[in-house]
Structure 1
Amino acid sequence: MSRRRLLWAGGGIGLAAVAAPLLNATAQAAPEGFRTSVTDLGPGIVQFALMSGIQVGDTVYIGSRNLAPTRVIGFHLPTRKVVSQTEIGYGHSIQALAADKDGKYLYAGVLTKGDEGKPNLYRWDLSTPDKPAVGVGRTEDRDIRELAVAPDGTVYAVGGIPGKAPALWMYDPADGKMTNLGIPDPKATLARAVAATDKTVFFGAGSVLSGGGEASKASLYAYDRAKAEFANVTPTELEKDPSVRELAVFGDQLVVSTSGSTEPAKLAVMDLADLSSYAVKSTDGKVVKNLTAAGDVIYFATDAGLYSYSTATEALAPVEFEGPDLGEIWGLDHADGRLTVVSGYGFVGEIDLAARTSVITELGKAGAPLSPQTAMGIAADDTYVYVGGNNVIARHELGTDKVLNLRAPGEAKDAELLAGVLYTGQYSSQGMWAYDPANDKQPHQIASFPSEQNRPLDVCQDPVNRLLLVAAQSDTEGGGSLWTFSPKTGKKQAFINPVDENQTVRAVTSRDGVAYLGGDNPTTTGPRGTVVAFDPVAGKELWRIDLPTSLTTGVAALAVQGVNLYGLTRQGGFLVIDLKTRKVVHTADHRDICPGFAAMVTSRGMVYGVSDTTLFRFDPKTFAVSNVVPEINGGWYSGPHVNADDDGRLYTMRGRNLVRIDDRKVS
């Protein structure tokens, strides 16, 4: 039984954990009387992670996600084998795929973390699949989220870049030029939907990221190709949703879907000849996407599964079939009475609609290249280390080479282990999930929270009140929340905007039954960052401190050691608050080792921090910082993480490999 398990169960009982032997450990000279060893535990997560899928003829083309190199593979339906692939080699994911009407060219749009001036639109000639895709254009919006090819072969792209309203982009294959056609919605933060006819291009946008404040909600514009003019054609019923999610043209109809927030997601069917004539259907899902059609029946995916909508009868119904949970769906097509589903779990499903049967093909077994993925949350005890990723949580069994991939939809942003049970905060709008290796085959949801509070960022335990605490952000409405959950009773609470209406709750830690919340303001007005002491049972603020003006960005991470609360900002600012006097007693600038997001953990009486570049340690008396593992350069998808096992050994990422750091003070 682990020390953490005993403390959780009985209070004042302690047990010294036995340190497992370090395999392949490499000793490092450590200053200030510390001995540090780093053990490489191998790739954190290995799978073929994906983010898009489209069927062209009898082949499904699938774009990778958070893998290196970025690639597109071709899965041949008749043989159920991966028969082709092309490496893009730039960016981290492929969310947008589109083919021309003849199925000769496949276009791929790239998501990146920085604009390096390289092409983000690629074209693959499917008649010669052995030849690689080539870069043909670049949108200045950096990320391409969706593509559409008009009947005449002209390509249209939409996407976004932080801090800038998205534009409609056009690529003309005749002259190879990429053109900015304008920004129809100057208050939008992201565009994820585009469709094109020979006369009109439809542009769908909103604020699914960086919402709140003056950011717009769902907006739909029609661009007249001949007149080069935009017209707002948003159905009134969609205007409360944060964003238009997808667009498709089927015959003489335009089909529009949304992402939901405070209301469920919706489906709208519009008459192309008269866009003021339309029907809107509300769903039970938080998002509607992946539109395909057969006659007058439209098929689509939600977070709850597959659904059909009849335009003739206006009936909405789930697609019933025998088969597994499909998870997060990134591709859906219909042909010859079958639906082809591309699942984020890494498989292709073929559903016979008449027979209500399915065939599932794991892409790894079909020949898809398996490679290490960038990681998210990490949790560890004396038996297992868990690494979160896209639609997967990898379970590493300590002392062995055994790694088991568990399936959980969305993204495990952060996690905590209590009494051997894993608890995760799942993005997007998935709430909290749990996995008990002694009793569960797969993780399962244990608590839901308001759907607009969609992005859990930090998970910790409150041993006094026996609660799990989760810091969360609302991407669509702005602000954030604190979630609490009792593993014993199942009781849950959500405290909305405990810092203020602009600041998300990016970090949470606990001491003596008090939760300390780290606020971060992504807007241009108000305090940059605030630390709030909060009663997680009564839901009441106890006191607050605004960050000193020298710290120009909000809180990224918090940790408690003794009577001191440590905080790191998003650009390496460091502060220490004396919890007795409630005053800031120390500040420093650590941008040289902590240039962006960060995480912290308390272990063996010390506070450790990790950034994208470095693992470091703070002296508990002087607060001086020391590098423990320089140039660790972890392969993270959405900010670094670090956690400790029952013996105080640290776990984080070095590149895309999981590493264990044993940092001991030498007497």
Structure 2
Amino acid sequence: MQYSRPVDRRRLLMAGGALGITAAAVPLLTAQAQAQAQAPTVSGGPSCTRVTDLGPGIEQFALMSALRIGDTVYIGSRNLEPTRVLAFHLPTRKVVAQTVLGVGHSIQALAADSTGRYLYAGILTKGDEGKPNLFRWDLTTPDEPAVGVGRTEDRDIRDLAVAPDGTVYAVGGFPGKAPALWRYDPATGKVIKLGVPDPKATLARAVAATDTTVFFGAGSVLSGGEGASRASLYAYDRAAGTFADVTPPEMEEDPSLRDLLVAGDRLVVSTSGSTEPAKLAVMDLADLSSYVVTTTTGKVVKNLTADGDTVCFATDTGLYSYATGTGVTTPIAFDGDLGEVWGLDAVDGTLTVVSGYGFVGELDPATGRAVVTDLGEAGAPVTPQTTMGIAADHRYAYVGGNNGIARHDLRTGKVVNLRAPGEAKDAHVLDGVLYTGQYSSQGMWTYDPLKGGQPHQLADFPAEQNRPLDVCYDPVNELLLVGVQSDTEGGGSLWTYAPGTGRKAAHINPVDANQLVRAVATRDGVAYLGGDNPTAQGPRGTIVAFDPVAGRELWRLDLPGSLTTGTAALAVHGRHLYGLTRKGGFFVVDLTIRRVVHTADHRAVCPGFAAMVTSRGVVYGVSDTTLFRFHPKTFAVSIVIPEINGAWYSGPHVNADHRGRLYTMRGHHLVRVDDRPVF
């Protein structure tokens, strides 16, 4: 649903000059390169910088989980601060209660005990060391806040299950560690690690429990490749404390188990697909070797719910029902766009669907009729969200969020939320038309404000090339270029798309089998690709010059010393390619001689992920903390806005309009920066 709001205030700040910081070169070059390098320690000189506050980047009630208990649907927030759980009352179609958890950024896991009294919530955190990531809300006293009851060492909780006796089981993950099965005992109040059944898994996303057994589903949906395991299902014997691998062989090629459901005497299992479609299995709890596997048409099967002998589920292509008696899968009609489904419950022949678009649908599968209630209109708090890609032209600026893109009218200040499933990781405006790289496995989407309507998919690409990261335009070849990561297979790709002809291509692993394409820049029809590697093994930070038309490598450059920490961002100015690493290393490559001619350590302003853009003959960069620029001749760094501290979800972004004005985030607000340095 679209909604609009006027910008209630606009703040214009004037800064007479930018603060400078020392840009000391680090000894990473060969003697020949050092002789050519220029590494002065002065800033870029005075400037006039105007900063215009354009209001919150994107406002919505974004969500990531939902569970129906009785006549109330409980909904967990996504990328909102503070985190919270809402209670949506179906008879009145109103939000009747909420509890603020205040830890982490999202709530992906909700589960209730058999009595319906206690609701447990698992948190996706940002570190939050020492704070609980498992909460319990007593639904008999909804005005009392949920209480943190424990913490798993895996940091992120992706799924929860409550056994009939009230014992809680949790799974999730932590970067660089194999996921474990965790148990919370309400009687003792302790959280205990029960073991790591799959040491090669990178993430566990599914858990289910009976009186005797806990089922643990894992795989490599993040940081795949390089020997990471595929879909795995383990049965944990609660009495013996042992794990047994019970994965159906037909599912082992999929990257990850996605969902589990105990339905009577059956265990229902689903996967996330990659190079193959996702699968659904129905297993006999008394004999797990007895099962039936069905291949679906979607990339993921999730939100399993049972209604008698029928199992309903959501995929990226819609809702479906599966008859366990006949093995027949049938689409469930819905008049509209469900987007990303995060809640599905079947009760008395009716489905309750909770969409990432921020609505609850009450659906009659027999007729396809539905009543849809917008959560914002029902009383959910509509607040600023952490953001993703940014793009702008003379009329509109766009800010990506979850399942939505905010369109800011730069003339009137009006903001409209557009619908787009998944996440607009990065974007570019060309001739007034918006183009986005859409996560996950959504390919490229587009929106033309002159035609109205909603964004739509423009081009799809191989499903395993699922995470677009950087979008730029090659004016020589008239191609949009997108750098991509493959979460499940490792490596990545370069997408190309010609807006004039519709021709598209995907060049798989142009750097190598391990390095994704974190950043893309272009000059004279050549694409420059910045490699990165999320695994602990193999090279990272390789720069590749690539012909995007012929689809072939022209040359490559392995960066020296501590610059091999993975590329964060690239930009081109003149004959120089500028680059930042994920640990604040800075380098400049002279493209005419294909050598590094300057390096520096900029961790003080760029401690991690970054983005860069060339505007008005100057390369600008933004990090999680700072907006800065580089001197076009000396490469010295100067601060444009200190402590900008943008509220980013998946790394900072900065873009420029046709006049060279920059757009980025300061806190949760979109800002326009008109910077005119004097060199």
The bucket for the TM-score relative to the shorter chain is over 0.9
Q: Look up the match of 2:240.
A: 227
- Please give the alpha-carbon distance, in whole angstroms, between the structure 1 residues aligned to 2:128 and 2:320: 38
2:224 aligns with one of 198, 211, 217:
211
Deviation, 1:113, is: 1.4
Q: Deviations over 1:380-409 (max 9, x none)?
A: 000000000100000000022200000000
| Residue number among 122, 126, 130 corresponding to 2:143 in the alignment | 130
Tell me the equivalent position of 2:380.
368
Which residue of 11, 27, 34 corresponds with 2:14?
A: 27
In 2, Cα distance between equivalents of 1:512 and 1:577: 15
Identify the residue that residue 4 of structure 2 maps to in structure 1. Answer: none
Partner of residue 40, structure 1? 53
CA contact (8 A) 2:104 2:128 kept: no
Q: Cα gap change, 1:23/1:340 in structure 2, threshold over 3 Å: closer, same or farther?
A: closer
Q: Within 1, Cα distance between the matches of 2:475 and 2:432?
A: 15
The corresponding residue for 2:27 is: none
Q: Which aligned segments of 4 or more residues in structure 1 are displaced greater than 4 angstroms?
A: none
Residue of structure 2 aligned with 1:179, choices 178, 182, 192: 192
- Equivalent residue in structure 1 for 2:69, among 52, 56, 62: 56
2:453 to 421, 441, 455: 441
Which residue matches 1:154? 167
3-state secondary structure, aligned to 1:460? strand
Q: Which residue of 1 aligns with 2:517?
A: 505
Cross-structure match for 2:85? 72
Could you tell me which of 345, 350, 355 is aligned with 2:367? Answer: 355
Q: Secondary structure at the match of 2:314?
A: strand
Counterpart residue number, 1:268: 281
Partner of 2:593: 581
Provide the residue aligned with 2:22 in structure 1. Answer: none
Retained in 1: the 8 A contact 2:542–2:564?
Answer: no
* Corresponding residue number in structure 2 for 1:3: none
**Aligned equivalents of 2:225, 2:546: Cα separation in 1:** 24
Shift of 1:232: 0.3
Which SS does the other structure have where 2:650 is aligned?
coil
Alignment-mate amino acid for residue 589 of structure 1: D
Question: Do the aligned residues in 2 keep the contact of 1:374 with 1:637 (CA within 8 Å)?
Answer: yes
Report what 1:13 is aligned to: none
Residues of 2 paired with 1:306 and 1:109: CA distance?
25
Structure 1 position 89 matched with structure 2 position 102:
yes
Task: Give the alignment partner of residue 345 of structure 2, picking from 328, 333, 340.
Answer: 333
Looking at structure 2, the residues matched to 496 and 116 of structure 1 have their Cα atoms a distance apart, in angstroms, of 38
Match of 2:432 among 393, 417, 420: 420
Q: Matched residue of 1:441: which SS? A: coil
Distance 1:611 1:542 in 2: 30
CA deviation map 1:267-317 (0-9, x unaligned): 000000000000000011000000001111100000001011111111011
One-letter code aligned to 1:201 = V
Alignment match, 1:533: 545
Deviation at 1:666, TM superposition (A): 4.5
1:642 corresponding residue in structure 2 = 654
Whether contact under 8 Å (1:528, 1:547) holds in the other structure is no
Q: CA deviation at 1:355?
A: 2.7
Looking at structure 1, the residues matched to 230 and 539 of structure 2 have their Cα atoms a distance apart, in angstroms, of 25
Distance 1:34 1:451 in 2: 46
- What letter is aligned with 1:202? F
Please state how far the C-alpha of 1:352 moved relative to its aligned partner: 1.0
Q: Which of 590, 604, 609 is the equivalent residue of 2:616?
A: 604
Q: Residues 287-436 of structure 1: matches in 2 within 5 Å?
A: 287-321=300-334, 323-436=335-448
SS in 2 for 1:389: strand
Matched residue pairs, number? Answer: 645
2:261 to 248, 271, 282: 248
**Is contact 1:67–1:371 with CA below 8 Å preserved after alignment?**
yes
- Within the alignment, does 1:488 sit opposite 2:500 as a pair? yes
Q: State the distance in 1 between where 2:179 and 2:534 align.
A: 18
Tell me, what secondary structure is at the counterpart of 2:373?
Answer: strand
The match for 2:180 among 167, 171, 190 is 167
TM-superposed deviation, 1:23: 5.3
**With CA pairs under 8 Å and 6+ residues apart, which has the higher RCO, 1 or 2?**
2
Structure 2 contact 10–55 (Cα < 8 Å) conserved: no
Q: What is the CA distance between 1:538 and its match in structure 2?
A: 0.3
Q: Which residue of 2 aligns with 1:12?
A: none
Letter in 1 for 2:194: L
**Secondary structure of the corresponding residue to residue 181 of structure 1:** strand
CA distance in 1, matches of 2:183, 2:537: 35
- Counterpart of 2:250 in 1: which secondary structure? helix
User: For residue 620 of structure 1, what is the aligned residue in structure 2?
Assistant: 632
Once the two structures are superposed, what CA deviation does each residue of 1:559-610 show, in whole Å capped at 9, x if it has no partner?
Answer: 0001000000111110000010101000111001100000000000000000
The code of the aligned residue for 1:70 comes to: T
Distance 1:467 1:525 in 2: 33
1:630 and 2:630 equivalent?
A: no
Q: Which runs of 5+ in 1 are unaligned?
A: 1-21
8 A Cα contact 1:597 1:612, kept in partner = yes
Give RMSD over aligned pairs.
0.9
Counterpart position of 1:15: none
The residue type paired with residue 532 of structure 1 is V
Amino acid paired to 1:616 = F
Q: Note if 1:190 corresponds to 2:203.
A: yes
> Could you give the per-residue CA deviations for residues 429-474 of structure 1, whole angstroms, max 9, x where no partner exists?
0000000001131000010000000000000000000010000000
Q: Which residue of 2 aligns with 1:455?
A: 467
Deviation digits for residues 58-90 of structure 1 (CA, Å, limit 9, x no counterpart): 000000001111000000000000000000011
Question: Aligned partners of 1:239 and 1:96: how far apart in 2?
Answer: 24
What residue number does 1:6 align with? none
Residue 53 of structure 2 aligns with an amino acid whose one-letter code is D
> Structure 2: how far apart are the matches of 1:277 and 1:568?
54
CA distance in 2, matches of 1:165, 1:562: 45
Report the residue type matching 2:514 in the other structure.
N
1:572 and 2:559 aligned = no
Q: Distance in 2 between matches of 1:658 and 1:331?
A: 31
Please state how far the C-alpha of 1:37 moved relative to its aligned partner. Answer: 1.3
Quote the offset at 1:255 in angstroms: 0.4
Q: Which amino acid aligns with 1:183?
A: V
Q: Give the CA deviation at 1:527.
A: 2.2
- Please tell me the residue identity of whatever aligns with 2:131: K
Q: What SS does the aligned partner of 1:237 have?
A: helix
**Contact between 1:527 and 1:546, CA under 8 Å: does it hold in 2?**
no
Cα distance in structure 1, aligned partners of 2:118 and 2:228: 36
Instruction: Kindly state the Cα deviation for residue 548 of structure 1 after the two structures are TM-superposed.
Output: 1.1
- Normalising by structure 1, report the TM-score: 0.96
Counterpart check, 1:519 vs 2:506: no
The amino acid across from 1:280 in the alignment is V
Which residue in 2 is equivalent to 1:542? 554
Matching residue within 134, 137, 140 for 2:153: 140
User: Greater shift after overlay, 436-445 or 350-359?
Assistant: 350-359
Distance 2:486 2:618 in 1: 32
The two structures have a TM-score, normalised by structure 2, of 0.94
Counterpart residue type for residue 11 of structure 2 = N
